[in-house]
């Protein structure tokens, strides 16, 4: 009998990946199931047992929460990354870690390749495939859902025929993904971008109308761009994010409705719940506002946009992402201090910030007494600053296409004493 090839499958316990185990078995593969805990609060032991029942030859559960925050989320927070100015990238940041762990287990198991349950229409397939290529080009990647041509009903029938119990989650009209950095929801009625998301879409965040009618203050302490304390107490990363998700969610903060551009050229409508991500990105930005020089801050904005795009596009493990990180890390040396946020019925507002190395200087900024700014220096500076425009006006005449005559009303009244 020929040796059966072995694949390590990213196993969520859902319908797709359960059917995938059996489908791969039928095509001559032994399947090792790998379930990774990124903070989604599932019964992982039950999922592990389920993998074996469905037909896996071995099943692993790995707690990835600490590396997820330390190695993927924190660098992205320091970068200030929001995809298309809206999406904090929860799913996009989880995939490269899951793929890296698949590779590690594949090596340990002597497997020929890895497998995942992504469809051929999304970004996640790209993230898995490209990460595997970057870390272990010798491994093959098998994506059953991309190959089998079954729809949801076919899968349910396949599961029934093969004695695979159908998980209760198939009842949900939505397709979701979640980890510590956020929850992604798509499909169902959300596919119509004219429809307001119904209330049952949300699980982490309260409806702002029903949130407490009292503001809640949160103080976040940062050390070189990383959050290390909550309300003055040093707090480990996982607990800090969990607590911000809880307090933000309870106050209705962190809902995002994004019409986004997928890498593969499809526009899709996605809802996100990401209270901790929204609060931390906001607080981190507030601290950068007071500690970075103007030109570093402006340049870093461009880096952030580019960072978000390549991470979204599955290029976490790439020379460019590493190079951008080197820049970002260098900018964070003075981004230490405290930020105070006020949460109230769906909004979060920065109401205080301070930093030992802050570049904000009261004695320069003040309009009050104790002013140390030499106002007489301003006139000379502005004369030189405006020299280019003055020269252009003198040499080339009219600089603006605006018709200045139209600015004044025709019936302008001139009063005299």
Give min distance, CB of 392 to ligand ARG, in A. 47
Cβ distance to ligand ARG smaller for residue 32 or 256: 256
- Encoded tokens for 285: 């930005």
Q: Which of 176, 235, 285, 348 binds ligand ARG (CB under 6 A)?
A: 176
282 alpha carbon, distance to own chain's centre: 13
Burial of 25 (0-12, 13-18, 19+ CB in 10 A): middle
Q: Does 261 bind ligand ARG (CB under 6 A)?
A: no
Active site residue 95: yes
Smallest separation, CB 403 to ligand ARG (Å) = 47
Question: Is 307:326 a contact under the CB 8 Å cutoff?
Answer: no
Stretch touching ligand ARG by CB under 6 A, among 164-172, 178-186, 300-308, 377-385: 178-186
Span of 147-155, 173-181, 357-365, 381-389 interacting with ligand ARG by CB under 6 A: 173-181
**Binding residue for ligand ARG, selected from 177, 273, 288, 313, defined by CB under 6 A:** 177
Here the tokens at position 190 are 């959300």
CA distance 244 to 227: 11
Taking Cα atoms as reference points, which of 54, 61, 36 lies closest to residue 166? Answer: 54
Residue span binding ligand ARG (CB under 6 A) among the ranges 21-29, 174-182, 193-201, 343-351: 174-182
Exactly one of 184, 235, 245, 338 binds ligand ARG (CB under 6 A); that residue is 184
Considering only the stretches 70-78, 172-180, 335-343, 406-414, report the one whose residues sit in contact with ligand ARG under the rule CB under 6 A.
Answer: 172-180
Q: Which residues contact 204 (CB under 8 A, 6 or more apart)?
A: 183, 245, 249, 254, 273, 275
Span 106-165, contacts to ligand ARG by CB under 6 A: 123
The reply on whether position 270 binds ligand ARG by CB under 6 A is yes
With contacts defined by CB under 6 A, name the span among 136-144, 158-166, 182-190, 223-231 that binds ligand ARG: 182-190
Residue 37: active-site member: no
Buried b or exposed e, range 269-298, using 16+ CB within 10 angstroms: bbbbbbbbbbbbbbbbbbbbbbbbeeeeee
With a CB cutoff of 8 Å and minimum separation 6, the contacts of 327 are 300, 303
Name every residue whose Cβ is closer than 8 Å to that of residue 74 and which is 6 or more positions away in sequence: 226, 237
Q: How far apart are CA 279 and CA 242, in angstroms?
A: 12
Distance CA 331, CA 190 (A): 39
Instruction: Judge whether 347 counts as a catalytic residue.
Output: no
273 is a site residue for ligand ARG (CB under 6 A): no
Identify the active-site residue in 124, 129, 177, 313.
124
| CA-based nearest residue to 14, from 221, 140, 157, 169 | 169
Nearer to ligand ARG, 89 or 287 (CB): 89
Query: For residue 211, what are the contacts with CB-CB under 8 A and spacing of at least 6?
Result: 250, 251, 252, 344, 345, 346
Does 92 contact ligand ARG by CB under 6 A?
yes
Among 35, 76, 91, 332, binds ligand ARG (CB under 6 A): 91
Q: Which of 112, 155, 186, 273 is in the footprint of ligand ARG by CB under 6 A?
A: 186
Which is closer to ligand ARG, CB of 123 or CB of 132?
123
Minimum Å gap between C-beta 117 and ligand ARG is 11
Enumerate the active-site residues.
Answer: 16, 95, 124, 175
Residues at the site binding ligand ARG, with contacts judged by CB under 6 A:
91-92, 123, 175-177, 184-186, 270
């Amino acid at each position: 009998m020929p040796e059966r090839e072995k694949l390590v499958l990213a196993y969520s316990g859902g319908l797709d990946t359960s059917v995938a185990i059996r489908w791969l078995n039928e095509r001559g593969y032994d399947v090792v199931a790998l379930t990774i805990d990124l903070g989604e609060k599932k019964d992982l032991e039950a999922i592990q047992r389920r993998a074996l029942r469905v037909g896996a030859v071995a099943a692993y559960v790995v707690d990835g929460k600490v590396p997820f925050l330390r190695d993927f989320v924190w660098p992205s927070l320091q970068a200030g990354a929001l995809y298309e100015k809206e999406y904090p990238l929860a799913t996009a940041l989880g995939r490269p870690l899951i793929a890296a762990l698949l590779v590690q287990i594949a090596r340990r198991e002597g497997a020929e390749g890895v497998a995942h349950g992504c469809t051929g229409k999304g970004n996640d397939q790209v993230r898995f495939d490209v990460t595997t290529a970057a870390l272990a080009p010798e491994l093959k990647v098998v994506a059953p859902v991309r190959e089998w041509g079954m729809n949801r009903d076919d899968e349910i029938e396949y599961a029934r025929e093969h004695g695979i119990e159908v998980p209760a989650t198939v009842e949900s009209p939505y397709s979701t993904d979640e980890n510590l950095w956020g929850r992604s929801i798509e499909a169902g009625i959300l596919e119509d971008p004219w429809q307001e998301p119904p209330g049952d879409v949300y699980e982490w965040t309260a409806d702002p109308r029903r949130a407490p009618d009292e503001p809640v203050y949160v103080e976040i302490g940062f050390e070189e761009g990383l959050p290390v304390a909550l309300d003055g107490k040093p707090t480990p990363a996982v607990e800090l994010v969990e607590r911000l998700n809880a307090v933000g969610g309870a106050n209705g903060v962190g809902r995002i409705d994004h019409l986004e551009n997928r890498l593969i050229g499809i526009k899709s409508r996605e809802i996100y719940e990401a209270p901790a991500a929204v609060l931390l990105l906001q607080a981190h930005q507030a601290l950068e506002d007071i500690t970075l020089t103007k030109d570093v801050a402006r340049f870093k904005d461009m880096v952030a946009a580019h960072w978000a795009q390549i991470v979204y596009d599955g290029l976490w493990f790439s020379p460019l992402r590493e190079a951008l990180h080197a820049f970002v890390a260098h900018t964070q040396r003075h981004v230490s201090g405290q930020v105070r946020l006020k949460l109230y019925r769906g909004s979060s507002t920065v109401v205080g910030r301070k930093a030992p190395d802050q570049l904000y200087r009261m004695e320069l900024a003040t309009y009050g007494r104790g002013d140390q700014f030499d106002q007489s220096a301003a006139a000379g500076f502005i004369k030189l600053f405006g020299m280019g425009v003055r020269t252009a006006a003198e040499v080339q005449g009219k600089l603006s296409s605006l018709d200045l005559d139209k600015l004044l009303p025709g019936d302008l009244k001139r009063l005299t004493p």
